[in-house]
Amino acid sequence: MTGGTAVRAAAAVDDAYFRRLVEGMRCGLLTVDRGGRILTINALARQILDLDDEDPIEGMPVRQALARHPRLAEVLLDALEMSHLPNRAELEIRSREDDGKTIGFTISPIPGDDGEAAGIGLFFKDLTHVERLEEQEKLRDRLAALGQMGASLAHEIRNPLASIEVTVGLLRRRLRDRPEELRLVEKIVSDVARVNRIVSEGLEFARPVAPEWAPHEVSSLLERAVEEASARFGPHRVEVERDYEPALPPVIVDGGLIRQMLVNIVLNAFEAMEGRGRLRLEVRGLARPGQDPAAVEIRIADDGPGIQDEVREKIFYPFVTSKRNGSGLGLPMARKIAECHHGMIDVMDGPEGGTVFRIRLPRTPDGRKTAG
């Protein structure tokens, strides 16, 4: 073997070794040269950034290659001009389904032969799952504290309520021939019932959820929820439109809890439209090309007046409501049910007004078995 051949062979070995090293990393890696072009990207980086394997990323300008992630592109280009590069920073980027995704990253310089930086390397990981776990842990702590407080409050509130109900019953008998006074008594009865309902709903919200897992068709659960919400609301003139993806596989959920979640959302839509308008229901699978759906998305859209910005920010907080007789626990309970199924719930403005609730449920929650 001649000297030149040996050098080329060694270079080929080094290049193959470098490639295996890059692909074997347990974090995403993306390198950029001084001219702002991407030199290297490994498979995990493509996965986190939702970039297809066949996309010719290497050699492309950063802004063009990361057109779907303009904030990340700007961070990389700014880093080329910085003397102190970001270390252990976080950034929110978009995912393929337009959900927020958080990455934790570090940027390191790549030294060149001339002593100047030849480029930069971005090392990053997807922190979305970690943040969700932290949020769920905080929620569990809050709910545990709320449960203890709620049990004590319920006992203290229900005792005088029971006394009021007995007294009101006596007043009813004494005032049955005095309709004016009797109307005031009936108002007391109505308010006592409302307080009782709020106490009961508060206890239910604070109680830990223990799902009973079984396969269910999401569209069937949604139809039953619409029927129940319609019956609870009473007479209405709401037109229901449906767009269900056919032949979706069942999901492993607690059917009763999911139906309760959907009833709360549909009933909220009926109330927002004041019993008159159009309700659109959508169910579709979420999957990469050529694969079975890993999750199911439900969209419930109304054409009501929409949600005010100050209310939307806190809409899933307990006891936050814009309704005169609302308890403010229906939507927080819906979120609690979605999260105990390792799913998510979100709310947004409709494209032509109104409100859209979006729920995503994984087909099989991690580590769970089908009941029975």
Residues 305 and 188: their CA atoms lie apart, in Å, by 32
Write the pLDDT tens digit of every residue in 100-134. 678 888 999 888 877 778 899 999 988 877 766 66
Contact 278, 241 (CB under 8 A): yes
Across the range 228-256, mean pLDDT stands at 91
Task: State the average pLDDT for the chain.
Answer: 81
Say yes or no to pLDDT of 33 above 50. yes
* Band of residue 210 on the pLDDT scale cut at 50, 70, 90: confident
- State the pLDDT at residue 168: 82
| Fold of the domain built from segment(s) 17-126 | Beta-Lactamase (3.30.450)
pTM exceeds 0.75 for this model: no
* Band of residue 32 on the pLDDT scale cut at 50, 70, 90: very high
- State the pLDDT at residue 83: 66
- State the pLDDT at residue 216: 95
Among the listed ranges 7-21, 64-78, 333-347, which one has the minimum average pLDDT value?
7-21
Just give the CATH number of 214-362. Answer: 3.30.565.10
* Band of residue 164 on the pLDDT scale cut at 50, 70, 90: confident
Write the pLDDT tens digit of every residue in 20-31. 777 778 889 999
41 to 20, 23, 82, 122, 125: CA distances (angstroms): 12, 9, 22, 9, 13
Say yes or no to pLDDT of 99 above 90. no
- State the pLDDT at residue 196: 76
Residue 102, beta-bridge partner list: 92
Nearest to 31 by CA among 55, 54, 71, 65: 65
Across the range 51-64, mean pLDDT stands at 86
Residue 283, beta-bridge partner list: 244, 298
Say yes or no to pLDDT of 370 above 50. no
Domain residue spans in the chain? 17-126, 131-206, 214-362
Write the pLDDT tens digit of every residue in 130-162. 766 666 677 667 766 766 776 777 777 778 888
- State the pLDDT at residue 198: 72
Residue type at position 317:
Y
Nearest to 39 by CA among 25, 51, 22, 26: 22
- State the pLDDT at residue 245: 93
Across the range 308-316, mean pLDDT stands at 78
- State the pLDDT at residue 226: 94
- State the pLDDT at residue 7: 40
Say yes or no to pLDDT of 10 above 50. no
Across the range 336-350, mean pLDDT stands at 88
Say yes or no to pLDDT of 298 above 90. yes
- State the pLDDT at residue 342: 84
Across the range 311-329, mean pLDDT stands at 70
Among the listed ranges 26-35, 300-309, 310-319, which one has the minimum average pLDDT value?
310-319
Among the listed ranges 152-156, 205-209, 254-258, which one has the minimum average pLDDT value?
205-209
Angle between helices 330-340 and 128-174 (to 10 degrees): 140
Residues 94 and 203: their CA atoms lie apart, in Å, by 37
Contact 252, 370 (CB under 8 A): yes
119 to 85, 156, 276: CA distances (angstroms): 12, 67, 60
C-alpha angle 86/91/92, rounded to 5°? Answer: 170
Say yes or no to pLDDT of 372 above 50. no
- State the pLDDT at residue 137: 72
* Band of residue 326 on the pLDDT scale cut at 50, 70, 90: low
